[in-house]
Structure 1
Amino acid sequence: MELYLFNPDSDLALANNEANYIAPASARRMAQDMALLPIWYAAPGSAVLAPSAYNADFLKRMRELFGLQVQLATEPELPDYAEARIVPWGWNPAIRRFFLKGGVREDRLPSPQLLAEYRLLSSRLQAVAVTRCMADRYPECTCGEHTLLNNIADCERTVNAMHACLLKVPWSGSGKGLNWCLHGFTKPVSNWCERVLREQGGLTAEPIYNKVKDFALEFYSDGQGEVRFAGYSVFSTNEHGAYTGNLLASDGQIEESIACCLPLEKLTGIREALRAELASIYGNTYTGYLGVDMMVCRSDKENGYRVHPCVEINMRMNMGVVARLFYDRFVAPGSKGCFAVEYVPDNETLRARHEQDMHDYPLMVEQGRLASGYLPLVPVTGKSCYRAYVRI
């Protein structure tokens, strides 16, 4: 038996690294509104930890439409899952403490020592060495550089030398922990760098690229030394770099769209080289999904394209994997669409959009697969500020 939990604050909890960490209100709201998201990627016969009040009816309906073999588990029922395999969105000391207090056996949870290793492996700094390795192997079609900064003098020197750059903290949530430096080493940038150096010990700087497309290669590590390719992800972000959604399409369709900018043999070569590199770093330590974010960038000098092979590595479940698994399991073959996560602070506005989408894009499910229309992936209630949905 496996028990799944959606804890989207995992990266923030890793940054804090305390067992008594409390997530910000926005992250707690997202976790509550989207608690049922794991039903779409959970293994048959497993359970998803979520409040029952407004989720039970939604899950019942989804089981009828798509044949889901997943059940609901609530917090008071945690002792019933004392020996289950726990599958959170991401691991950190706070979530370990939560399950331990809830009645899950300690030997079913990662040790504090293993979580300390996970924290190091989850740092954005891991992308530095991997990017260099890929650049050495494929100098003719890749771009990308990360500069490690460990003191304020290095920060000032690097930012002024690059004129415009992107600073990143080692641990942060998706689209968070980024500082777009467009006007040199200003006082606000200096204050931000000093705080990050004090709290996390370092940061990275990279150029701002002429991005054409965001995509990712998704992998799965079995913890026994093997890492396998799990599929492609093409995703979108807002102007701040925060995730907004994914393309829903087959791996073949996505491969074709990338091949317009990067020859297929180069793409498959980079994919295999990344797989081998990830296996050497994560394969014997970590069990779970790994997402390597990448970019197709326009190369002005060559009037062509280059690929940034490792913008960052997500050592956890991620929305790209959710979209990939949802498409493969529940979408009619050959169809295309979008997967999106949306935040609207006003509940009435969110519900109005939900109702309008249901009206404009009638749901059509054929033989357990989504043929067309709008499908909310979690219930939209009278308190929701977040929704996750697909549209085919």
Structure 2
Amino acid sequence: MLQLQLWGIEPHIIHELMTAPLLRGIDLVSPPISTDYLRMAHRRSCEGLLRYLIKEGGYPEALLPRWVEQGEDLSETKRLLREALRGVAQGYGSPTEVMVKRPFSSSGRGVLPFPRCYSEKHLEVLAGSCLRLGAVSIEPLWQVIENWALEYVRDGEGRVSFVAFSLFETIASGRAYAGNILQSQETLRARLIQHIGSEALTQLIALQETYLSEALVASQYEGYIGIDLFLYEEEGQIKLHPAVEINLRTTMGLLAHLAYERYLTPPEEGRFLIEYLPTAQPQPPMSLTFPLTEASPTTLFQARITKA
């Protein structure tokens, strides 16, 4: 028997895994996905957090995404998308593109730029995605400087507490996860404070803890929660997007934090990443490598910590 532990929740992924010929004959147990879990795993839950932070923390309303629910048919869905695309804040973010996101979060999957001056073919493809997934969100495409996350944990009594800062990298397109920067928590905190100030950071953590505690009050979820943020440049100033995505799982940022605590000592620095290795390969100097599973004598996936 194998218990599925998904990195991101999407119904079609669960279906594909449960029916995959490669896994035929194996008793697969799908993860317990409650209504509360799905609600918080959906990107729209982060919109609720963002609205709360705009109200209580004074962040700009231009950060809010515009959600488009599927229409009765392709034509109606295209009409709804046209209205939403016209409504995305002008004068904010990229002048040529906006960002379109799928409903469920998963380390940069389902996040893609979409031209402001789009063709009918562009719109038809987007409408097809909306019909297939039920909804998409559209927001300005910001000039991201650094990607961050704040890691929390929810205990068995429903208390949400801050755990760690996470600074991560993305691939050249600026969306999919590429690895974590390993630094001490003191160094990471000082780095973020340098851009937004100590008071703003303390307020943000307190507001996020309050929101998560209230939003999950009826949930049985117990475990880690990651909230992605980013620093972006707008009109020559560095600003903070305080809530890009909520992840109810043991995130890469949390794993990177635990790896630093176990393998490195301040002021050591490094990089944490997950690699796919179909065959055994020699590792570079100053590299700590460990398999993510002991289920097979052949290690296909491994985590690597490279010291700076």
TM, length-normalised to structure 1: 0.65
SS in 1 for 2:169: strand
CA distance in 1, matches of 2:35, 2:125: 26
Report the residue type matching 1:154 in the other structure: L
User: What does residue range 13-52 of structure 1 map to in structure 2 within 5 Å?
Assistant: 14-16=10-12, 21-22=16-17
Shift of residue 166, structure 1, vs aligned partner: 0.6
Task: Tell me the amino acid that sits aligned with residue 377 of structure 1.
Answer: F
From 227, 230, 233, the equivalent of 1:292 is: 227
Q: Which has the higher helix share?
A: 1
1:272 corresponds to which of 206, 215, 228: 206
> Aligned with 1:180: secondary structure?
strand
* 2:41–2:105 CA contact under 8 A, matched in 1: no
1:316–1:258 Cα change, 3 Å = same
1:250 aligns with 2:165: no
2:288 equivalent among 352, 366, 375:
375
Q: Is the 8 A contact 2:167 2:253 kept in 1?
A: yes
Q: How does 1:308-327 map to 2 (within 5 A)?
A: 308-327=241-260
Q: 8 Å contact 1:291–1:313 — kept in the other structure? A: yes
Q: Please state how far the C-alpha of 1:343 moved relative to its aligned partner.
A: 4.1
- The corresponding residue for 1:390 is 305
- Cα drift, residue 332 of structure 1: 2.0
**SS at 1:239 equivalent:** coil
User: Could you tell me how far apart the structure 2 residues matched to 1:314 and 1:200 are?
Assistant: 19
User: In the aligned structure 2, how far is the partner of 1:291 from the partner of 1:329?
Assistant: 20
Matched residue count = 286
SS at match of 1:225: coil
Backbone CA RMSD of aligned residues = 3.2
For 2:53, the equivalent position in structure 1 comes to: 134
Q: What SS class does the counterpart of residue 138 from structure 2 fall into? A: strand
Q: What SS does the corresponding residue of 1:260 show, helix, strand or coil?
A: helix
Quote the Cα distance in structure 2 between the aligned partners of 1:142 and 1:257. Answer: 26
Task: Tell me the CA shift for residue 17 of structure 1.
Answer: 8.0
The verdict on how the C-alpha distance between 1:168 and 1:94 changes in structure 2, with shifts beyond 3 A counting, is farther
Deviation (angstroms), 1:94: 5.2
| Partner in structure 2 of residue 125 of structure 1 | 44
1:329-378 Cα distance to aligned partner (Å, 9 max, x none): 3322321111012346xx45xx44xx141xxx2xxxxxxxxxxx211121
Matched, 1:200 2:196: no
Percent of aligned pairs with the same residue? 21
Match of 2:91 in 1: none
1:289 and 1:253 map into 2 onto residues whose CA distance is 22
CA offset digits 1:190-228 (Å, max 9, x no partner): 233323332332111111111111000000112422100
Return the match for 1:239 from 165, 172, 178: 172
Cα distance in 1 for residues equivalent to 2:112 and 2:180: 24
Unmatched runs of 5 consecutive residues or more in structure 2: 71-76, 89-95
Aligned to 1:341: 274
1:326 CA displacement = 1.6
Unpaired runs of 5+ residues, structure 1, are 30-75, 79-92, 97-109, 362-372
Kindly report which structure 2 residues correspond to 1:87-236, keeping only aligned pairs within 5 A, or say none. Answer: 95-96=30-31, 110=32, 115-139=34-58, 144-151=63-70, 152=77, 153-160=79-86, 162=88, 163-182=96-115, 184-236=117-169
The answer to whether the 8 A contact 2:68-2:137 is kept is: yes
Alpha-carbon distance between aligned partners in 1 of 2:84 and 2:60, rounded to the nearest angstrom:
25
The C-alpha deviation readout for 1:15-54, integer Å capped at 9, x for no partner, is 3386x541798xx99xxxxxxxxxxxxxxxxxxxxxxxxx
Normalising by structure 2, report the TM-score: 0.81
Tell me: CA distance 1:384–1:160, structure 2 relative to 1, closer, same or farther (3 Å).
farther
CA distance in structure 2 between the partners assigned to 1:221 and 1:330 by the alignment: 25
Q: How far apart, CA to CA, are the structure 2 residues paired with 1:126 and 1:16?
A: 20
C-alpha separation between the residues in 1 aligned to 2:60 and 2:261?
A: 30
The verdict on how the C-alpha distance between 1:296 and 1:95 changes in structure 2, with shifts beyond 3 A counting, is same
Letter in 2 for 1:148: W
Q: Is the 8 A contact 1:164 1:207 kept in 2?
A: yes
